[in-house]
Chains A and B, each alone.
Chain A
Amino acid sequence: MAYKIIASQCTGCSACEFECPNAAISMKGDIFVIDPKKCTECEGQFDAPQCAAVCPVPKTCVPA
């Protein structure tokens, strides 16, 4: 029950960190990572996981 970010594709734009309602996303080096313990896949909060909805690179924020 969590999303992950494919590191090789992350542009480090920070949009996902900004949108995450659970503060589950943080910067690690030049890219962002999702803390699976905090990620809820936005269930009960939004129609779709916010990180995946805003990510500019296709198939980069995906189910873990």
Chain B
Amino acid sequence: MAQLISLGSLTAPTSTETMREALSSGGCASSSCGSSEGAGDLPPEVWERIKDHPCYSEEAHHYFARMHVAVAPACNIQCNYCNRKYDCANESRPGVVSEKLTPEQALRKVVAVANEVPQFSVLGIAGPGDSAYDWRKTKATFELVSGVIPDVKLCLSSNGLALPDHVDEIAAMNIDHVTLTINMVDPEIGTRIYPWIFYRNKRWTGLDAARILHERQMESLDLLRARDILIKVNSVMIPGINDEHLVEVNKVVKGKGAFLHNIMPLISDPAHGTHFGLTGQRGPTPAELKALQDKLEDGTKLMRHCRQCRADAVGLLGEDRGQEFTLDQIPDDVTYDPAQRETYREVVAVERGEHVAVRKAASAEIAATAEGGSMLIAVATKGGGRINQHFGHATEFQVYEASAKGVSFIGHRKVEQYCEGGWGEDATLDGVIAALEGVDVVLCAKIGDCPKESLTTAGIEATDAHAYDWIEAGIAACYAARHGDAEQLLTA
């Protein structure tokens, strides 16, 4: 459920004007979520290729939506953090999906989404098994969809074991982006993550399995790079197993040309029935995750805005509208209408220009007040780069750090929605406050007196003074109010 733009106002009679209004009243997070802050810190040719891709470009994730179709259920490895038996619509994690689709069903669903969700720009296949292993279905789906919606960007994610077998077809189909999940470059460590793999008609276990997987992953990196396909690497951070080792993984994948490295926290719960869940292996704390990400900051561009979405997720990152587009809700015969998406793109081009300018100005202003030190700001947003969500409606907060380096996106904190049907639950509020640990200020479109007081007691200032403003502008104003020359900043 979360958010970017209120889509209600984007449907039906569309005009640039109504879309622009919807965007400014609804927008998402602002500045640089994550690693790629925008064109500035990436080579121009890479930026051109990722700028509309929400999963790769932090800036794009405020404006564009991805859709995963679960057409590839078969997998060729077993990971200790995955249990394929488990399927629950209430949980959100990779590898999990409610409704498996045939390629033909996937086409119907993609067309229905493209007609309804103007932000749609990327179609990904992430399983729920392995898209390169279950290649026939992955390929058939991409062929069907690109026949109908030629400008859709295609991407897939894989563990790399089967990918070398299909890399030429991947290149031939204009699949521009591939995500590889690489959790280790040392097979000894791999033995603690992968109990077995299936390769060349045989199940391999132990060190053999980890060694083969490692070699094939390295081969995949080399082959993709040779074909000029952009590579993102995902790594699951597993405390005590590969957390320190990921520094080494980062070096290796960077050396082999990955343009983004995404460190994801292990999701582990006994109820998921995974090996790690059952053995009590814990995931990292937000602080541990951030410490590792900070350590790797000079390496491959890191990505901090990943939401670890499901293999059938639909919508902007942080929101999942998958349940609105289950097959039973889609007519048998749907025809693609490009009008919504085209109008939306025109609007976004203008909004983004303004947003980028505000962002730069805010960072420059904060940097000029360098004496102030750093502060953490949590923002409630529905997308579009603006502070536009009610405190009580937020299911996650975007956390930014303001410091001498300017404004940078740190990550998101998920919370339980505090306010439902107008009533706030005290127990939920305690959870929200715990999730906001370390945060100095909360920016939102509106907040009631009661939660505001509780936050103040917990040492967190909450304000709706910057409602509907650009996120960076609100942060700059906050920073100025706390540190240094407030007047100069506010008038700037």
Contact = CB atoms under 8 A, between A and B. Distances in A.
Interface of A: 9, 11-15, 18-19, 46-48, 50, 53-54, 56-57
A46 B74 contact: no
Contacts of B441: none
Interface stretch (B197-205, B379-387, B461-469): B197-205
26 contacts: A9-B85, A11-B73, A11-B85, A13-B73, A13-B74, A13-B84, A13-B129, A14-B73, A14-B134, A15-B73, A15-B75, A15-B76, A15-B133, A15-B134, A18-B74, A18-B134, A46-B202, A47-B201, A48-B202, A48-B203, A53-B203, A54-B74, A54-B76, A54-B203, A56-B75, A57-B85
Interface residues of B, number: 17
A46 B200 CA distance: 10
Interface of B: 73-76, 78, 84-85, 87, 100, 129, 133-134, 136, 198, 201-203
Contacts of B74: 13-15, 18, 54
Nearest to B73: A13
Main secondary structure of the interface of A (DSSP, over half): loop
Nearest to A42: B201
Contacts of B198: 15, 19, 53-54
Contacts of B73: 11-15
A56 B84 contact: yes
B76 A53 contact: no
Q: Which of B74, B75, B85, B198 has the most CB of A within 10 A?
A: B74
A31 B162 CA distance: 24
Given A12-B73, A13-B74, A13-B129, A19 B201 contact: yes
Nearest to B201: A46
Nearest to B100: A12
Given A9-B85, A13-B73, A53-B203, 5 more contacts: A13-B75, A14-B74, A19-B201, A50-B201, A54-B76
B44 to A, nearest CB: 42
A56 B202 CA distance: 14
Nearest to A14: B74
